[in-house]
Structure 1
Amino acid sequence: MKFKFLIGLFFLTLGSFAQREQLQWLDINLSNYDYPYPVHFIPVNIQQQELKMEYMDVKPDNYNGKNILLLHGKNFNGAYWKTTIEALTKKGFRVIVPDQIGFGKSSKPDNFQYSFQQLAQNTKQILDSLGIKKTAVLGHSMGGMVATRFALLYPEVTEKLILENPIGLEDWKLKVPYKNVDWWYKNELKQSYEGIKKYQLESYYDGKWKPEYDQWVNLLAGWTLNSDFKKIAWNSALAYDMIFTQPVVYEFQNIKVPTLLIIGTRDRTALGKPLVTEEIRNTMGLYSVLGKETQKKIANSKLVEIPNIGHMPHIESFDKFIQPLTAFLEK
């Protein structure tokens, strides 16, 4: 048994080495990486800077008059919504998918004061430029925190809110010691292909890797080969500080729009786990509990739990994700 385990570990390591050797250098704004649909940019003049924010706008021929905004997580960009865009446009929905400032193909500022209010406001600028007055808003992971803030700031625009394994369902400041931006920055500078894959394997997929997951590792790891990686790491550190210091958990009761929670119950994602004891760590990121607690806080909300699925339902178990989503949108 032990021999078989060691053989399996050997081939996994060998595969990781081969993948790393083929790793593609990526431009700081992913200009040498193709998104699944045409990309557009709007100028965002904020904080005394002229920045660019990228988005995809996919309007089907059978447009049903309904729109949906898809907001990405911290370790991702709009490209990972490909299959979700395909499914929703087949149903007639117009789908708008931005990359937040500091992520994907959008600008990476030298300095930026990150806040969920600012990201929500930037996102609203895209809708305004397209003349979109009403939309459903779906946020995954960190995107769930952005989506929550968007719904609170713009209830007149938000027709429905969907939160897919959002982070921020608990206040980590109550359990985890504060680390400043410089600490997060030094931590980000240590990123590598092996480290990124190990984190995603353990945190997202419960140790069960599929070849199609490689692309999401490569998108982050390819940046580590870039001479501008320090700027990418700095923006990532600023975003971590935003996530840690700006909880939305205390405002769920203020959400007024119809809300759907899609929760993979195997998820244990929580910021700062390595900084606490095992006893405290075991109380963090319990999505099988957090989903139910959050559903009780949001009036007019529905909870759909997906057993034995982790942080990435729309990647790991697409059919179980898209069915409740489309049913909720078509009501």
Structure 2
Amino acid sequence: MTTPSEVPAMQERLLDVQGKKIFVAETGQGAPVLLLHGGGPGASGLSNYSRNVAELAKEFRVIVPDLPGYGRSSKGIDPTDPFGALAAGMRGVLDRLGLEKAHLVGNSYGGSCALRLALDTPERVGRMVLMGPGGIGTTRALPTPGLNSLLDYYTGEGPSRKKLEKFIRDHLVFNAAQVPDSIIDARYHDSIDPEVVAAPPLKRPKSLRTLWKMDFTRDKRLNRLVVPTLVLWGAEDKVNRPSGGRMLAERMPNCDLYEVANTGHWVQWERADLFNRLCADFLAGRR
């Protein structure tokens, strides 16, 4: 299993995208693949995909951005259309890299970004892998305990290591013992960046219009989206309900669903070997 120290040498840069800075790291050669990370406190591209980059880079040009609002990218995101803002930012990354098309791999918030990018501009997407994406049926049921924990992180008494540890160990993964303290420490450090605290990139929508805009099952374009898609969903996901995977498989005309047993919200980390194999085979058309 790959550890951060085994990730191959990266080319790192800040791209100017729509007046903001987007941090991008990349390595490997082949068809371009964007790895889009989740939206939990302190998340970033390289930390989210620390167990996947090296394996995927054996076959693909792996591009790992920090989404707007996270990591080394500029802070602040449009609260009236968060998914649209993320998608526009990543489309800008493709433009700056001179890429007409790329494969997309998205976990949680990054999965929402990937799906919105594909809906808005399907011609820019080759294949797509989604792991427990947000925005699937979210207006049809109350938020999960995991999602409430995530959205409450910057509210109340504010961010704390205790709140972050509870979110990660109780809601993010199936086996809490797998998560080392070092991951919690690093993510807590990044989560209390003053710019992030001042403008959290993921928070509760303030209007019903925004909320409905963030539920993909209410977007009629989903039924016509023919981008080949593989959905991987942890059967024990406590953040986004696994039933979301079946919703996507029922609506999207070219969508495969793989529900992963004994796995929570972080499929690419908890089941890295399985994820790396399935992801590489699917993106290469070897399914």
User: What TM-score does the superposition give when structure 2 sets the normalisation length?
Assistant: 0.81
Alpha-carbon offset, residue 328 of structure 1: 0.7
Which structure has the bigger radius of gyration?
A: 1
Residues 1:97 and 1:224: Cα distance change in structure 2 (over 3 Å): closer
Structure with larger RCO (C-alpha < 8 A, sep 6+): 2
Residues 1:233 and 1:247: Cα distance change in structure 2 (over 3 Å): farther
Partner of residue 153 from structure 1, selected from 120, 128, 137: 120
Give the structure 2 partner of residue 57 of structure 1: 26
The one-letter code of the counterpart of 2:61 is R
Alpha-carbon offset, residue 218 of structure 1: 2.2
The one-letter code of the counterpart of 2:56 is L
Residues 1:102 and 1:148: Cα distance change in structure 2 (over 3 Å): same
What is the 5 A alignment of 1:21-60? 37-45=10-18, 50-58=19-27, 60=28
- Residues in 1 aligned to 2:36 and 2:77: alpha-carbon distance in whole angstroms: 23
1:216 aligns with 2:189: no
Alpha-carbon offset, residue 211 of structure 1: 4.7
Partner of residue 74 from structure 1, selected from 20, 34, 39: 39
What is the 5 A alignment of 1:99-178? 99-109=66-76, 114-172=81-139, 175=142
Alpha-carbon offset, residue 224 of structure 1: 5.8
The one-letter code of the counterpart of 1:202 is D
**1:210-244 Cα distance to aligned partner (Å, 9 max, x none):** 254x3432233114665x2xx31242265543885
Residues 1:237 and 1:122: Cα distance change in structure 2 (over 3 Å): closer
* 1:83 alignment partner, SS class: coil
Give the structure 2 partner of residue 267 of structure 1: 237
**What percent of counterpart residues are identical?**
25
5+ long unaligned stretches in structure 1: 1-34, 177-182, 271-284
- Residues in 1 aligned to 2:244 and 2:77: alpha-carbon distance in whole angstroms: 36
- Residues in 2 aligned to 1:139 and 1:319: alpha-carbon distance in whole angstroms: 17
5+ long unaligned stretches in structure 2: 1-7, 144-150
Give the structure 2 partner of residue 235 of structure 1: 199
How many residue pairs get matched?
263
**1:18-45 Cα distance to aligned partner (Å, 9 max, x none):** xxxxxxxxxxxxxxxxx97342111233
**1:228-280 Cα distance to aligned partner (Å, 9 max, x none):** 2xx3124226554388552222233232211100111111214xxxxxxxxxx
Moved more, 290-299 or 255-264: 290-299
Choose between structure 1 and 2: higher helix proportion: 1
Give the structure 1 partner of residue 225 of structure 2: 255
Residues 189 and 233 in structure 1, CA contact (< 8 A), matched pair in contact too: no
Moved more, 187-196 or 255-264: 187-196
Alpha-carbon offset, residue 137 of structure 1: 0.7
Give the structure 2 partner of residue 200 of structure 1: 168
The one-letter code of the counterpart of 1:73 is G
Residues 188 and 236 in structure 1, CA contact (< 8 A), matched pair in contact too: no
1:313 aligns with 2:258: no
- Residues in 1 aligned to 2:281 and 2:13: alpha-carbon distance in whole angstroms: 29
* 1:241 alignment partner, SS class: coil
